[in-house]
Amino acid sequence: MFRWLLISLIASLATGAAIAARLGDGQETAAYQQCAKACSDCQRACDTCAAHCGSLIAEGKAKHLATLRTCQDCATHCGAAASIVARQGPFSDTICKACAEACRRCGNECQKFADDPMLRQCAEQCQACEKACQDMLSHIASEK
């Protein structure tokens, strides 16, 4: 039991040191945090929009099923990206590529209903998140 606790403690310390080394300077951290914030903001916008689309479907507007499902999937991508990028995880590039694509597709779908303020706001958040993820990918590429 003691041996397992000691191994666990050593692993935790090593992980903490690796994270601290990965965090680098404040400027690098700021780039990751800006992207994580954009992803988090977009996740909330997509979740809110999905609920709105559910209400529209309940009113008989079945054409919003596509936007509801798109927003749900985009919110999931954005939530994962926010978590991974915030901790500057080694898969930040992978999740940013996927998140940018999800945001592009979701934004395009919501833009079809730009006369609806909620869908327009979601499309705008998706565009901002897509840009933040593309910027993050450029930042990651310049680190290598």
Q: Kindly report the pTM of this predicted structure.
A: 0.81
Place of tokens 């919501």: 110
Six-digit token pair at 135?
Answer: 């910027």
Does the residue 87 lie in any domain? Answer: yes
Burial 86-101, CB ≥16 within 10 A → b, else e: bebbeebbebbeebbe
Q: Which residues of the chain have pLDDT under 70?
A: 1-27
pLDDT at 28: 73
Q: Are the beta carbons of 35 and 133 closer than 8 angstroms?
A: yes
Report percent pLDDT > 90 for the chain: 76
CATH number, domain with residue 75 = 1.20.1270.360
Distance of CA 45 to the CA centre of its chain: 11
Cα separation, 71 vs 50, in Å, equals 5
* Residue span of the structural domain in which 66 resides: 32-143
Does the residue 127 lie in any domain? Answer: yes
Does the residue 16 lie in any domain? Answer: no
pLDDT at 144: 74
| 102-118: pLDDT as tens digits | 999 999 999 999 999 99
Is the alpha carbon torsion for 36, 37, 41, 42 positive or negative? negative
pLDDT at 129: 98
Does the residue 91 lie in any domain? Answer: yes
Structurally, the chain folds into a number of domains equal to 1
Q: Compute how many other C-beta atoms are within 10 angstroms of the C-beta atom of residue 69.
A: 14
pLDDT at 3: 57
Does the residue 27 lie in any domain? Answer: no
Does the residue 24 lie in any domain? Answer: no
Does the residue 37 lie in any domain? Answer: yes
